[in-house]
Amino acid sequence: MSRYTERRRRGSVLSDRRVVAGAIGTLAVAAAVTLLPQSSDAAPGDTAQLAAAGVNCQSASAQATQSATTGSSSSSKWQRRQNQNQQQNQNQQNQNQQQTPCPSPTGQAGGQNNQNGNQNAGQNAGQNQNGGQNNQNGGQNQQNGGTGAEPLPAGGTNPADTATPSVIVNPTSSQQPVGQQAADGAAAPDLGILGNNCDKSKLQLHDGFQNGNRCVTTEFGEVGTSDKNPSLIIASAPRFAKANQAFDLRVSTRNLVRDRFLAAAKGGYYKESSFLTADGLVRGHFHTACRMLTSRKVAPDPNPAPAFFAATEDGAGGSTPDTVTVRVTGLPAGEAQCAVWAGDGSHRVPMMQRANQIPAFDVVRISVR
């Protein structure tokens, strides 16, 4: 064989090798572009595993392509020897791939998405469970708040026994109101009036003094229109006061002319009917009283005299609201309930035109220390 022919043969082999190398590089780039984006949502450890699998798959694919191309380009002994070596390397790569298989990019990404989806579903389920537990705890907290232990009144006094069963007043979907009647206007025509005087009463007639177990014959008297009915409010009061030291309450009244007060100790209690001024306003006064509480959940005993009482008849008042300062002379330590309410000339709470109007009264709590 001439030197020229030998050179051409060698040049052809080198040229074929360059073609194969270029094909290998192209396939490697294509495989990397196909595989790597699928692992963008995977964890760092999964990304490393995908990269290693991609290299193995690229090597096997490149070697298979190189073997096929080289086998077709030459049939020389040297080339057959090279093919045998490459076949051995490919077999070794195939054995390695069986230990770490190379799934398709789509299948691998789908598996990862399913795994991530299952993991997210599990986490969401756990969060929902925690949310349910929190809601349950919230309901228990709310229930505990609604039925919690009664705080002690100020001053350390012991609350009264609250074991007495309560009566259901507010209806629910399955309970009827107890002790409540239908709204005004819905009652039956026959009111069943028991009487409007003392003719049928077996009690002694009331004589104007502060005695009970009597029957009052005094007529109710005059009642004004709803826009002129009296009202009042405690405009200011301290939240805390020192024991046995004076403090002030500021009381604002409306539609109450404070010029009529028949002394109860002199027989003027419930003895006179109510009367209005020429402008249709109630003539009367207002009371202020403070009593010491022993419980916040049990109605107090009405019999004991309050710790403080005063009546205000200063000749002022009218349709325009005004304010009066009442000096409370001092209370013992504990929790005080201070109330203010209007009275007509004979100490009755003034009448209102309608049954759904709130009478002229107000109440505050004061902690005395």
pLDDT band per the 50, 70, 90 thresholds, residue 184: low
Tokens representing residue 99 in the block: 């230990």
Contacts with 63 (C-beta within 8 Å, 6 or more apart), sequence order: 86, 89, 90, 93
Q: For all residues of the chain together, what is the average pLDDT?
A: 73
The answer to whether the predicted template modeling score (pTM) of the entire model surpasses 0.75 is no
Is 121 or 270 the better-scoring residue by pLDDT?
Answer: 270
In angstroms, the CA 63 to CA 68 distance is: 9
pLDDT band per the 50, 70, 90 thresholds, residue 131: very low
Phi, psi (deg, nearest 5) at residue 50: -65, -40
For the cut 90, the answer to whether the pLDDT of residue 253 exceeds it is: yes
Query: What percent of the chain stands above pLDDT 90?
Result: 46
Of the candidates 306, 322, 308, 303, the one whose C-alpha atom is nearest the C-alpha of residue 257 is: 322
What local confidence, expressed as pLDDT, does residue 90 receive? 73
Helix (H, G, I), strand (E, B) or coil at 138: helix
For the cut 90, the answer to whether the pLDDT of residue 11 exceeds it is: no
Determine the residue type at 354: R
Ordered domains of the chain (ranges, CATH): 3-110 (no CATH), 204-368 (2.60.40.10)
Hunting for tokens 């082999």 — which residue is that?
Answer: 13
In angstroms, the CA 63 to CA 81 distance is: 15
Highest mean pLDDT among 129-138, 154-163, 179-188 belongs to: 179-188
Hunting for tokens 């080289």 — which residue is that?
Answer: 70
For the cut 80, the answer to whether the pLDDT of residue 219 exceeds it is: yes
Residues in the chain, how many?
Answer: 369
Q: Residue 277: enclosing H or E segment and its boundaries?
A: none
What local confidence, expressed as pLDDT, does residue 26 receive? 59
